A and B are shown apart, each in its own frame.
Chain A
Amino acid sequence: MSGGVNASPNGARTRFKIRNPQDFYGGVVLVAFAVIALLATRELPGMHGFAFGPGTAPRMFAMLLMGMGFLIMAIGIFTDGPKVERYAFRGPLLVVAAVMVFAGTIRPLGLVISSFVSILVAAAAAEDVNWIESIIWSAILTLFCSLLFPYALNLPLYIWPRF
Chain B
Amino acid sequence: MSDLFANLLMGFSVVMTPINLGLCLIGVLVGTLIGVLPGIGPVATIAMLLPITFGLPPVGALIMLAGIYYGAQYGGSTTSILINIPGESSSVVTTLDGFQMAKQGRAGPALAIAAIGSFFAGCVSTVLVAALGAPLTSIALLFGPAEYFSLMVLGLVFAVVLAKGSIPKAIAMILMGLLLSMVGSDLETGAARMSFDIPELSDGIGFVNVAMGVFGFAEILRNLEQPEQRSIVQAKVTGLMPTRDDLIVAAPAIGRGTVLGSILGILPGGGAVIAAFAAYTFEKRMAKDPSRFGRGAIEGVAAPESANNAAAQTSFIPLLTLGIPPNAVMALMVGAMTIHGIVPGPQVMTKQPELFWGMIASMWIGNLMLVIINLPLVGIWVRLLRVPYRHLFPAILIFCCIGVYSINNSPFDVVITGCFALFGYWLAKHDFEPAPMLLGFVLGPLMEENLRRAMLIARGDATVFATRPLSAGLLVVAFGLLIIAVLPMIRKRREEVFIE
Contacts and interface: CB of A to CB of B under 8 A. Distances in A.
Interface of A: 22-23, 25-27, 29-30, 33-34, 37, 40-41, 44-45, 49-55, 57-58, 61-62, 64-65, 68-69, 71-72, 75, 82, 84-85, 87-88, 90-92, 95-96, 98-100, 102-104, 106-107, 111, 115, 118-119, 122-123, 125-130, 133-134, 137-138, 141, 145, 149, 153-157
A152 to B, nearest CB: 9
Contacts of B182: 57-58, 61
A144 to B, nearest CB: 9
Interface residues of B, number: 63
B212 to A, nearest CB: 10
Given A58-B194, A125-B224, A153-B52, A30 B397 contact: no
B193 A123 contact: no
Nearest to A53: B189
Given A52-B451, A95-B224, A65 B398 contact: no
Given A58-B194, A96-B422, A153-B51, A91 B224 contact: yes
Contact of B393 (A40, A55, A104, A126): A126
Instruction: Kindly name the residue among A27, A37, A155 whose own CB sees the greatest number of chain B CB atoms within 10 A.
Output: A155
Contact of B406 (A62, A138, A141, A155): A155
22 contacts: A22-B429, A30-B176, A37-B179, A41-B194, A44-B193, A50-B456, A61-B182, A91-B221, A92-B421, A96-B418, A99-B414, A99-B415, A99-B417, A100-B414, A103-B414, A103-B415, A103-B418, A104-B411, A118-B398, A122-B397, A133-B391, A157-B405
Interface string B134-175: 000000000000000000000000000000001011011001
A115 B248 CA distance: 52
Interface of B: 51-52, 54-55, 166, 168-169, 171-172, 175-176, 178-179, 182, 186, 188-189, 191, 193-194, 196, 217, 220-221, 224-225, 389-391, 393-395, 397-399, 401-402, 405-406, 409, 411-412, 414-415, 417-418, 421-422, 425-426, 429-432, 448, 451-452, 455-456, 458-461
Given A50-B455, A92-B425, A58 B193 contact: yes
Contacts of A51: 452, 455-456, 460
Given A103-B401, A134-B394, 11 more contacts: A22-B431, A50-B460, A50-B461, A58-B193, A85-B429, A91-B225, A92-B425, A99-B401, A102-B414, A123-B394, A155-B51
B172 A30 contact: yes
B389 A126 contact: yes
Instruction: Kindly name the residue among B418, B458, B459 whose own CB sees the greatest number of chain A CB atoms within 10 A.
Output: B418
Contact of A141 (B225, B395, B412, B430): B395
B479 to A, nearest CB: 16
Contacts, number: 201
Contacts of B171: 68
A91 to B, nearest CB: 4
A22 B169 CA distance: 11
Nearest to A51: B456
Nearest to A49: B460
Mostly, the A contact residues are helix
A154 B461 CA distance: 53
Contacts of B456: 50-52
A2 to B, nearest CB: 14
Nearest to B171: A68
Contact of A57 (B394, B430, B451): B451
Contact of B178 (A44, A50, A61, A99): A61
Contacts of B452: 51-52, 57
B429 A115 contact: no
A33 B172 CA distance: 11
B191 A129 contact: no
Contacts of B425: 87, 92
A125 B220 CA distance: 10
Contact of B220 (A54, A95, A133): A95
B406 A64 contact: no
A9 B414 CA distance: 47
A46 B368 CA distance: 54
B401 A118 contact: yes
Contact of B455 (A52, A98, A128, A157): A52
A51 B429 CA distance: 41
